[in-house]
Amino acid sequence: MKNRLKVLRADRDWTQADLADRLQVTRQTINAIEKGKYDPSLPLAFKLAKLFGLPIEEIFSPDTN
């Protein structure tokens, strides 16, 4: 699954640690999601959507490959 997490985070001038703090996860989790090595759970995806004020599909999109 692809995502725009890095861009959205950079827009707000947040570090991975800042975002991790806001979501109550580790910085490594944010890094793994950004690099596409880990797909977040649905509750975490909803938390992200709420935090960025965007629908989930504007943050995550299916990997067509």
Partner 1 sequence: MADTRIESSLQAGLRKSNFQLLLATATWVGSTAIMSFGPSRFWDFDTTVTFLAIAANLIAGGFMLYSFFRHLKNMDELQRQTHLEAMALTLGITMVLTVIYGALPQANVLADAQPANVLFVIGISYILSVTTLWLRRTSE
Distance CA 9, CA 19 (A): 7
Compute CA distances 37 → 4, 9, 11, 13, whole Å: 14, 18, 22, 23
How many residues lie near partner 1 (CB under 8 A)?
Answer: 16
CA distance 44 to 39: 10
Instruction: Decide if residue 18 touches partner 1 (CB under 8 A).
Output: yes
Among 6, 29, 51, 56, binds partner 1 (CB under 8 A): 29
Judged by CB under 8 A, which of 9, 40, 59, 60 binds partner 1?
40
Chain residues binding partner 1 by CB under 8 A are: 18, 20-22, 24-26, 28-29, 31-32, 37-38, 40-41, 44
